[in-house]
Structures are given as C-alpha cells and as structure tokens.
Chain A
C-alpha cells in the first residue's frame, strides 16, 4: 500500500472521476439494458467511440489554450466531400488511378490544416474570440460542402479506403496513434508545456518567452488535422462522402471533452480524461438506445450530463481561487 488513502481518494474522485462514473454507470445499467454487457455490444461501444475520441482529442488541445473549436464538424463535411470527389470510382477526379486513395487522404488532411490555419491565424494574430471565429468557419465550410455537392452523398469509394474506418483494428491503430501522439505532445514536449502556459495566462506566457501566437496557430492547425483524420474514418465507415456526416454531433465532441474534465477556462486538461469523457458519452448513448428510450430522451439526458460536467468545472475553478 504505497499510496495513502487520502491521496488515492483524491485521485479517484478528482482526475479519474469520469472513469469511476463509467464503471458505476455500466454496473448499474447492465442488469436492465438487454445485451449491454455482451461482447458484441462492447465492441460496438468502442467502435462508436473511436471517431468521437479523435475529434474530442483535437478539441482538448484547443480547449487547453482557453479556446474552442466549433468548426470540427465542418472540417469533417468539407474533407469528406473533397476526399470522395477525388477517390470515388463513379465520379472521382482520379477514379481508377492507383494513387487516388493516398492523394485523396492527403487532400483531406490538407483541408483540415487549412481550416485550422485560418482559425488559428484569426484567433492568434487578429485576437478575435475563438467562439466567433470557429462558428464562422463552421457555417462557411458546412455551407461550402453542401453547395459543392448540392447535398448529395458520393459513394463507390475504393476498398483500400473503406478498410480505414471499416476494420475496427485498423481504426483502432489510427486512433491510438493520434491520441497517443497528442498525449505525448502534451506531456513530454516543450510545445505541450507552452500550450498549458498559454491556456493559464497568455500574458505571463508571453513575458516568459513563449511564442504565444505560434502556439495558438499550431494548436488550431493540429485540431484541424485531427478533425480531418476523423473525417477519413467517418467517410470510410459510412462508405460515402457527404456534407452532412456528423453535422449534428458537435455537442458530443465538446461534451466528451468537458465531461472528461478539460477546463472550459483553459490551462487544464489531459487526453486520458477525454478518453473517459468519450467513453462515458458513448455508454450513455448505447445504453439508452438499448433501454428503448427515444432519441429525444437521450438528447435530454446527454444535455443534463454535459451541464453537470460544466458546473463541476465551474465549482473546481472557484475552489482553486
């Protein structure tokens, strides 16, 4: 017993609280939600969680800088459409070309990087509020994606592309790489320390020699790239490019991040917490579906859970002065 009880209690009720909630929730619901604890369903839960986890990881990065990225679902829409327009066997610009898939993937990532760079530049150099900047990006790029396809889905994607989101092991490897990479970036690199410093207090960070603007632009570009990775997984899983993929799931992305414990005020957050948050939201969705509750009830429950997490964040911040 190397760890004393008070420290252990603080640790469990503090940073691992969302995991504890996941476990309690699972234990409480398992006897009632038919099939909840079956291996098939647990695979579904983890499979459904992966794209959300990727997106929430990008959101975590931005939120630690005291920002927010509302454009994540617009990046998915735009990247999904651009990628499908390039690689589709029916209407793709490179249909039949063996390099179509790699070029399509690069183009999708480029879309994410460009949107992220626009967001970051406006936030860092023009000092515009992240909420307004990314809300504008959300509206503009969602509209552009719908306009460019006239709201039509693009199918006939090559098999080599469909594996990325269609095979759980491949998806898991991609997600683990992204999530693990961001975890290492935040915990083991100088850039990670700069991100926290900027989130805590940008003026102090600047005085201490942190290149605040570059750090912010980097965070938004990384979030854009991560959203593009999610777009690759989602487009592949849904076997089609569409301007409305994940259009209505922005609340889940922000919710998973906040439920995990990443502070809306910046300067605090961990990728591991976001894993807990994504798991908790996915468990709620899955279990309430199994309980045969309506979508509207599920939305209400999720809204209340996110509100509770945000309130907890406020209380913690008050306690910390």
Chain B
C-alpha cells in the first residue's frame, strides 16, 4: 500500500492517468475571444464590458470572461487560463502600465493576439494593440470649455484638479490635458490644489475636503474621472459649495468619462462639461482589431478613440452618443 502511504505519488499517478484521456474538448468551432478586465467596480468598466460582450455576440463570437479584482497576479493566471482554453484572441484591461506586462508576455509567447482596451501598458518587450481615448486632447477640450465659462464670469478663479493613479497612462494624459488648457489662461485660473485620488473614492473625498479647508474660495474643479463625482459632490455639499450653474457660489465643474452620474448632474444643471470616451467605438475597434490580426492584416499599435466633449450647450444633441446617458435611459 505504498501508493496510499505516499499521497503525492498517488496524486501524480492519478494525474498521469487522466492526462492522456481528458481534454474536455469543445465542439464549438466559432472564434473564441477571452475578455479579461482588471475590475468592474466603476460604471465605465461595466459599460465597456457590456459593450464588448454585445459586439462579440453581434458577430457570433464566443466569449470567455475573467475579472481580476485589481490583482495583476490573478490577471496573469487568468490570461494563462485563456491560453489553456486556446482562445483566438484576448481583449484585456491591464491593472496598470507595468505590473501587467507578464500577462501580455504570456499571450505573446502563446502567439495569441492581444488588444488592450482603454488602458495601455508600457511596451517593454511586449506586443499589443492599444485602443485608447485621446486622454490629453479630450481633457484639454473639456477644460478649454470650462475656462471659457470661467472667463464669462469676468473674475479670477482658484482651481482644483483631482488626479487619478499616476501609474496609469490615462490619468497622466488627463492631468497633462488639464494643465495644457490652463497654460496661457493664468490671468483668470490659478491652480491651488492638486488632489491625488489613486482612483479611490475615499481618497478623493478626503483630498477635496482638505483642499476646500485650505482654499475655501476654490470655484473651478476638474476631476480626472466622473466616477469620483459622488465623493466630490459629498465634499462640495459639506463645504456648502454645491450650487447650480448661475446660482451664487457655483463651482464650475468638469469631468472625464461620460458616466450616468455625470449625465444626471448635467441634466440637473450642476456640471458644465465632461469628456466622453466613446465606449462603443472602443469596443467595436477592439474586436475588429483582433479579427484583423487573425486575418494577418496590418493593425496600428494604437487606435485612438477621438471621444467628444458634452456640455450644457450640446447635451441634447449629443446624449445618444454618451454611454452614461444611454445607460440612464435604459436603452
């Protein structure tokens, strides 16, 4: 009974017996694409995930899904699982620019085309196609509109910018876009607070509260993501700064993403503008890029989502393209 006294030997023998026979092969010969998201904790990622699933279903492509719960190690294992399942392509939202490189490498080594959706990684010895909003241009255009509104008030404004995770290229692009728009407009905008959020609601709220305590006369606020608005609004209310456009004490607000909260704030007259990432364009472009790569076509390393700025003057005309408004309407 050595076999039973040595459990590891038993395990090895058992696995060996099964190795030859079990493959769990699938009779489904459709194209299969693995979709690996870092998280589904914000509306944007949920909308993106749903948009990709809808795009794949429309094209009769089989989908395998995986959510890493903000853990790059888990994401690496999930990509390896996709390789095991012999997927034809992978669409992935990496955790950040650096820690996701081994996961991309695993796909590269298996010869599986990989597209990074909305957030790209450093190109350190890895190959991928990135589909990403032009964060810099979109943030700049949004803040340009806010500056225009500030100029219309005829007075100087103190400004706050809520930054994202500086390990994320998107956050950096949005920060740079903000400062590019402020550049040359220092006569009416003075940036007095840079609040790091690291894409965390609690940190954003604490930072905004602190900034208002230090500078109670801040009247211009741009956030690098709309998903932080609930925290920001809470802090604004605590400081008695949450007033509609045109009311005394109004803080000019701008954001980025185009989520349902931003749409509601825009409808209610609190939010001046937000840069909308075209999630449907990005989903369609990601799937198309995989299919093109499978056919051996040339695909650019980076596909830009031009996005658009939605503001009080064009909101009715643009709402059908704003994913947050589409979600709100239940379409």
- Point out residues on A near B: beta carbons under 8 Å: 1-3, 8, 11-12, 16, 19, 22-23, 26-27, 30-42, 44, 48, 51, 150-156, 166, 234, 237-240, 242, 244-249, 272, 276, 279, 285-286, 289-290, 292, 294-296, 299
Contact = CB atoms under 8 A, between A and B. Distances in A.
A40 B79 CA distance: 13
B26 to A, nearest CB: 5
A156 to B, nearest CB: 8
Interface of B: 1, 4-5, 7, 10-11, 14-15, 18-19, 21-26, 64-74, 76-78, 80-81, 83-86, 96-99, 101-102, 122, 124, 165-167, 196, 198
Contact of B66 (A51, A239, A289): A289
A41 B84 contact: yes
- Between B1, B25, B102, B198, the greatest number of chain A beta carbons within 10 A of the residue's beta carbon is seen for B102
Given A8-B1, A34-B26, A19 B99 contact: no
B14 A12 contact: no
A152 B1 contact: no
Contacts of B23: 34-35, 37-38
19 contacts: A1-B1, A3-B5, A8-B4, A26-B14, A31-B24, A34-B25, A35-B86, A36-B22, A37-B24, A40-B84, A42-B15, A44-B80, A153-B167, A239-B101, A249-B74, A292-B65, A295-B67, A295-B74, A296-B67
A274 B196 CA distance: 41
B56 to A, nearest CB: 13
B10 A19 contact: yes
A28 to B, nearest CB: 11
Given A37-B24, A155-B98, A295-B69, 11 more contacts: A23-B14, A32-B24, A34-B23, A37-B15, A44-B84, A237-B73, A238-B102, A239-B101, A247-B70, A249-B74, A290-B84
B14 A242 contact: no
Nearest to B37: A295
Contacts of B72: 238, 242, 245
A181 to B, nearest CB: 18
Given A32-B24, A289-B78, A38 B10 contact: no
Nearest to A146: B198
Nearest to A32: B24
B205 to A, nearest CB: 17
Given A1-B1, A35-B24, A242 B69 contact: no
A295 B23 CA distance: 23
Given A1-B1, A19-B11, A246 B81 contact: no
A295 B196 contact: no
Contacts of A296: 67
B9 to A, nearest CB: 11
A8 B4 CA distance: 8
B18 A40 contact: no
B66 A34 contact: no
- Between B21, B22, B25, B124, the greatest number of chain A beta carbons within 10 A of the residue's beta carbon is seen for B22
B304 to A, nearest CB: 25
A23 B198 contact: no
A44 B81 contact: yes
A22 B11 contact: yes
A231 to B, nearest CB: 12
A31 B25 CA distance: 9
Contacts of B64: 292
Contact of A35 (B1, B18, B84, B101): B84
Nearest to A282: B77
B81 A244 contact: no
A151 B198 contact: yes
A29 B65 CA distance: 19
Contacts of A22: 11
Nearest to B28: A34
Given A35-B24, A289-B78, A239 B69 contact: no
B70 A290 contact: no
Nearest to A39: B19
A72 to B, nearest CB: 14
Contacts of A12: 4
A147 to B, nearest CB: 11
B98 A153 contact: yes
A34 B85 contact: yes
Contact of B99 (A39, A240, A276, A292): A240
Given A30-B18, A294-B65, A289 B102 contact: no
A289 B65 CA distance: 8
Contact of A294 (B67, B85, B99): B67
A152 B199 CA distance: 12
A31 B26 CA distance: 11
A142 B79 CA distance: 27
Contacts of B18: 26-27, 30, 37
B78 to A, nearest CB: 6
A113 to B, nearest CB: 24
B10 A23 contact: yes
A31 B68 contact: no
A237 B26 contact: no
A31 B22 contact: yes
Nearest to A289: B81
